Amino acid sequence: MSASISTIGAFRHGGRLREAMAAFPDAPRPWLDLSTGINPEPWSGQRAPADALRRLPDPRELAELETIAARAFGVADPGRVVATSGAEAALRLLPGLIGGGEVALLAPIYGGHAESWAASSPSLVTSPEDPRAVAADVLVLVNPNNPDGRRIDRDTLAALAAERSDAGRWTVVDESFGEVAPELGVAELEIDRLAILRSFGKFYGLPGARLGFLIGNKVFAQEFRALLGDWPIGADALALGIEAYADAAWRGRTRAWLATQAGAVDTVLAKAGLKPLGGCDLFRWVETPDAHGLFTQLCARGILTRPFADRPDRLRLGLPSRNDFNRFERDIHAVTS
C-alpha cells in the first residue's frame, strides 16, 4: 500500500494522475481526479487565436490583463498587480527578492512554500502569535489554508501585516484559494512589506494555463516585474485571463455553485463516517484512522485523492463535477461501508 503511494508521488502534491494510472492499471477509466482542489467545472472561454501564437505577447495585452485582474481583486492601482506563470512560479522567486533572515511558515502549509524557503531553515509555527513567528523577518501563510482550510479574518491579518511591516518584517499571504473566500482578502491593502499571491487555475478550473499574480506595494511590484522580463506569460494565459477576470457574473454564479456542491460532498462524507475537519469550497480535509488505506482503495476504483506522509489519518478531497457526483457518492459508500 505505502509503496503504491510513494510510486505515485502523491505525498508531494496532487495531480499525479498518470503515475496513479500506472500504479493501478486495472482501475476503471476515466479516472476521477480529486487530488488538487481545482474547480471541476471550469470557465469555458476561448483560448488564444492562432495568430497570437505566431507572435510575441503584446505588452499592452499584459497591461490589460493586469488591469482587469486588479479590478477583480479589488486593487485600485493595477501597477501593484504582476502576472506570472502561476502562483507557484511567484512563490519560488520571492526568497531571492525578499532576502534571508529568520523565516516562519504557518503550518500545516502547502509544500511549495517549505521548498522555496528551505535554504533559510524556516521554523514551522501553528500560530502567528508564536514568538518565532513574531520575531521572523518573513512570515509565510496561506489564507484560506491548504490543506486544512484554516482561516484568518481580514482585519486580524491586515493588522498583523501592518505591524510587521512597521517593524521591518515581511508577510507573505498566499490567497490561491481566495476566490471562494473573498471576505478574507487583503489584496487591496498597500502595505510596504506585504506580498500576496493569487492563482487563476484553481477557481477558474484551468491550471494548465499557468497563470497567477503577485500583488505588492508599487515599488516591489516593479522590481518583481523586472525580474520576470518582457514576456512572463503566454498567449493562452493572456486570452483566458482577460476574458475570465472580466466575467463577474460567472464568478458570482460559480461561488454559489461551489458552496452548494461542497455542502453536498459534506453530506456524502458524513454518511460514510468521514466528517470534514476543514477545507474551503474547493476541497475538504477529512479524518479517518487509515487515510492511506482509503487512498489506495479509492485509487483501485479510479479516484485520486491527496494523502499526507506526516498525517496518516488525514485525506484531502476536491469536489466532483455534477456529472461525476453519483460516481463519487457510490464509490465513497462502497469503500467505507
The answer on 199 and 82 residing in a single domain is: yes
Distance CA 196, CA 141 (A): 10
The stretches of the chain forming alpha helices (DSSP H) are 2-8, 17-23, 50-53, 59-73, 87-98, 111-116, 131-135, 154-166, 201-204, 218-228, 235-246, 248-271, 291-300, 325-336
Percentage above 70 pLDDT, the chain: 96
* Strand pairing report for 283-287 and 314-318: antiparallel
Distance CA 116, CA 89 (A): 10
| Number of neighbours of residue 56 by Cβ within 10 angstroms | 10
Distance CA 46, CA 68 (A): 17
pLDDT, position 10: 62
- What pLDDT, in 10s, does the model give residues 162-185? 999 999 999 999 999 999 999 999
The answer on 299 and 240 residing in a single domain is: no
The answer on 241 and 100 residing in a single domain is: yes
- What pLDDT, in 10s, does the model give residues 100-144? 799 999 999 999 999 999 999 999 999 999 999 999 999 999 999
The answer on 236 and 94 residing in a single domain is: yes
Domain boundary among 246, 276, 307: 246
Mean per-residue pLDDT for 194-204?
98
Q: Is 125 helix (H, G, I), strand (E, B) or coil?
A: strand
Does the pLDDT value for residue 280 go beyond 90? yes
**CATH number of the domain to which 35 belongs:** 3.90.1150.10
The answer on 122 and 35 residing in a single domain is: no
The answer on 208 and 267 residing in a single domain is: no
CB of 288 closer than 8 Å to CB of 251? no
Q: Exposed, middle or buried, 267 (CB in 10 Å: 0-12/13-18/19+)?
A: exposed
Domain boundary among 182, 213, 246: 246
The answer on 264 and 218 residing in a single domain is: no
The answer on 210 and 275 residing in a single domain is: no
Closest-CA residue to 192 (of 221, 213, 212, 214): 221
Distance CA 12, CA 309 (A): 9
Beta bridge partners of 318: 283
**Cα dihedral 48, 51, 54, 59 sign:** negative
Q: Is 303 helix (H, G, I), strand (E, B) or coil?
A: strand
Distance CA 184, CA 156 (A): 10
**H or E element that contains 213:** strand 212-215
Does the pLDDT value for residue 268 go beyond 70? yes
Percentage above 90 pLDDT, the chain: 92
The answer on 161 and 93 residing in a single domain is: yes
The answer on 206 and 116 residing in a single domain is: yes
- What pLDDT, in 10s, does the model give residues 294-310? 999 999 999 999 999 88
- What pLDDT, in 10s, does the model give residues 54-85? 999 999 999 999 999 999 999 999 999 999 99
Distance CA 337, CA 331 (A): 10
The answer on 15 and 130 residing in a single domain is: no
For residue 119, the 8-state DSSP code is: G
Domain boundary among 246, 280, 300: 246
> Number of structural domains, the chain?
2
Please tell me the pTM assigned to this model. 0.95
The answer on 164 and 89 residing in a single domain is: yes
Buried b (16+ CB within 10 A) or exposed e, 161-191: bbebbeeebbbbbbbbbbbbbeebbbbbbbb
Print the domain residue range for 119.
Answer: 50-246
**CATH number of the domain to which 99 belongs:** 3.40.640.10
* Cell 484553481 found at: 202
Helix/strand/coil (H/E/C) assignment for every residue in 70-85 = HHHHCCCCHHHEEEEC
